[in-house]
Structure 1
Amino acid sequence: LTANSGGYYWGVYKPKLAGKFFVRTRCVNHDTASRVAVLTVTGTIPPSTVFLASTTSTRDSGLFERIGPVFKQNCPEYVLKATFVGSGAAIALGGTGDADVLLTHSPTAEVDFMNGIVAGAPSAYRGLRRYKVMYNDFVLVGPKTNPAGVGASVPATQAFQSIATAGSTFWSRNDNSGTNTKEKEIWALIGNPQTGQTWYKASGTMGMAQALAAANDASTGGYTLSDRATWLNAGALGIVKNLMVVNSGDARYFNQYSVIEVRGARNAEGSQDFSNWIRSPEVQELIRTYGEYTYPGQVMFVPNAGSY
């Protein structure tokens, strides 16, 4: 039985292997102190696991390192188990029911998932609710010598064409991630001149940090597309010393992140509560201020929680 009191959702929970009833609270108002007081009086229950499948950029940018512990503080009734993969792989985990909630940045694939389609085929699970969380942009990075002569403020299509014309090395993540999807979208707009070319490195799959490392390497260096937050964090870690942003600012580089609750998730409450939590004013402010002191004048992420 449930009742609503002061914004909290209360219920009776009975563990299968225990003979006691416990009062249970849900992560709604993010008031940890109040809930700890309640649990101290009434007993404790084993926290339930929420399986999150997230794009690698939330990890490689350092954002999750900041907000993950806050979820644990705000929502102690859950254990959050996060898997960081490309957005395509994250959505696939949702499609098989192996993730309760998704954090991705691949709009077309997300819309497909809401309609029960993953990688062009029907999926066992689909999205239940999808919301905006934050955005940033993509940047084209390459050697400081800029051998392809890419213009800093030319359209993205022109920048990519310059690389193709020069036959300069380009490292593709080749993993159906949000970044890889955006890269392929731009190549397609200019007729896919990279197809079958030796300068286009797309064998195997790579995470964003791996692609940046390959582009930075003195022996394999070249160009790649990155989300801005991961690029800035890689710079702070000193792993992209041979690279610079060669092109940015085109509207095509817009990069929206979404949270998706999986319909029929094993932990449906946890899925909904994580979605509510990451869109709450407190966490949106954490996202807004992330990196403002480490990277003055740079924007890592812009919070924009809302409906589509």
Structure 2
Amino acid sequence: MKKLFHSLLLSLALISAVLAPNAQAQEKSIIISSTTSTEQSGLFGYILPIFKMKSGIDVKVVAVGTGQALDIGRRGDADVVFVHDKPAEEQFVQDGYATKRYEVMYNDFILIGPKSDPAKVGGGKDIQTAFQKIAAAQAPFISRGDKSGTHAAELRYWKGAGIAVSPSQSWYKETGSGMGPALNTASAMNGYILADRGTWLSFKNRGDLTILVQGDPKLFNQYGVMLVNPAKFPSVKKAEGQAFIDWLVSKNGQDVIASYQIGGEQLFFPNAKK
């Protein structure tokens, strides 16, 4: 009886050893390199469980600035890149790191600053004029300084305003951090900062900060998604990655994105091309 029991245990152990790799092989997952705004706004926490329930695919997110997210894709260390810097995304495709870029959704950038508004920019509709006033007043300005999509947009606005900014200027501070930590710094310093609306709406530590400039068409903030080219990187999970992209731009995916709200306010607006 004892020998029979040991034989049974051995058989069960062998069966487990054989089945375990097969079970692991059946687990579907992908890696997305994306922006801090899609994570810190809470969007991924809202949409990814819905996608997994429908597809069985687990999505692991590496949330960094857009520049870093694209670099991860260039190394083949992600299956999908989901970011918001259209010129950089188009260059990514042109360089062969992806074969197609899909537009997914948009929101907008806003200029945040202290309610006391020492640069007197509040209520304005022109972001470049506001930047000129901030520079003239040498009021504290917090820049992410992290090569993110938000940082790239900020630099475009400074250039459009005809102002060269540098960390050597005492009023211009670079944090090298994501949107949430940069907003924390702006709150602590009572400074101005360019933010995406989604992260601002989910941001709790506002202190004396408020929205001062919004509505300029130049503040439009488009998000795009790309499958990393499997011809360049055979390790890319083509089927699973494309399944995620197809869902994002489908009616169901677009409806889910549109339904994400904080305090009754919609954070992202789907605009995938039909």
Task: Answer yes or no: is 1:106 the counterpart of 2:85.
Answer: yes
How far apart, in 2, do the equivalents of 1:223 and 1:62 lie? 23
Q: Of the candidates 234, 246, 255, which is equivalent to residue 221 of structure 2?
A: 255
**Paired amino acid for 1:208:** M
- 1:188 is matched with 159
How far apart, in 1, do the equivalents of 2:257 and 2:28 lie? 25
Q: 1:270 to 1:198 in 2, by over 3 A?
A: same
Query: Which has the higher relative contact order, 1 or 2, with Cα contacts under 8 A spaced 6 or more apart?
Result: 2
**Paired amino acid for 1:255:** N
Contact 1:101 1:259 in 2 (8 A): yes
Task: Answer yes or no: is 1:172 the counterpart of 2:172.
Answer: no
Q: Of the candidates 62, 76, 84, which is equivalent to residue 42 of structure 2?
A: 62
Question: The residue matched to 1:252 in structure 2 has which SS?
Answer: helix
Q: Please list every run of 5 or more consecutive structure 2 residues that lacks an aligned counterpart in the other structure.
A: 1-16
How far apart, in 1, do the equivalents of 2:60 and 2:176 lie? 23
Task: Answer yes or no: is 1:295 the counterpart of 2:274.
Answer: no
1:90 CA drift (Å)? 0.6
- 1:201 is matched with 173
1:49 CA drift (Å)? 2.6
Partner deviation per Cα, 1:35-55 (whole Å, 9 max, x = no partner):
xxxxxxxx9952133111111
- 1:282 is matched with 252
Question: The residue matched to 2:190 in structure 1 has which SS?
Answer: coil
Question: The residue matched to 2:272 in structure 1 has which SS?
Answer: strand
Q: Please list every run of 5 or more consecutive structure 1 residues that lacks an aligned counterpart in the other structure.
A: 1-16, 23-42, 117-124
Contact 1:164 1:193 in 2 (8 A): no
How far apart, in 2, do the equivalents of 1:50 and 1:184 lie? 32
How far apart, in 2, do the equivalents of 1:56 and 1:205 lie? 12
Question: The residue matched to 2:118 in structure 1 has which SS?
Answer: coil
How far apart, in 1, do the equivalents of 2:259 and 2:239 lie? 28
Map 1:1-308 onto structure 2 (within 5 A).
46-76=26-56, 78-116=57-95, 126-195=97-166, 196-202=168-174, 204-217=175-188, 220-234=189-203, 238-264=204-230, 265=233, 266-291=236-261, 294-296=262-264, 298-306=265-273
Contact 2:106 2:271 in 1 (8 A): yes
Contact 1:94 1:262 in 2 (8 A): yes
1:271 CA drift (Å)? 1.5
| TM-score (norm: length of structure 2) | 0.87
How far apart, in 2, do the equivalents of 1:18 and 1:155 lie? 65
Question: The residue matched to 2:271 in structure 1 has which SS?
Answer: strand
Question: The residue matched to 1:128 in structure 2 has which SS?
Answer: coil
Contact 1:139 1:245 in 2 (8 A): yes
Paired-residue identity, %: 39
Contact 2:132 2:163 in 1 (8 A): no
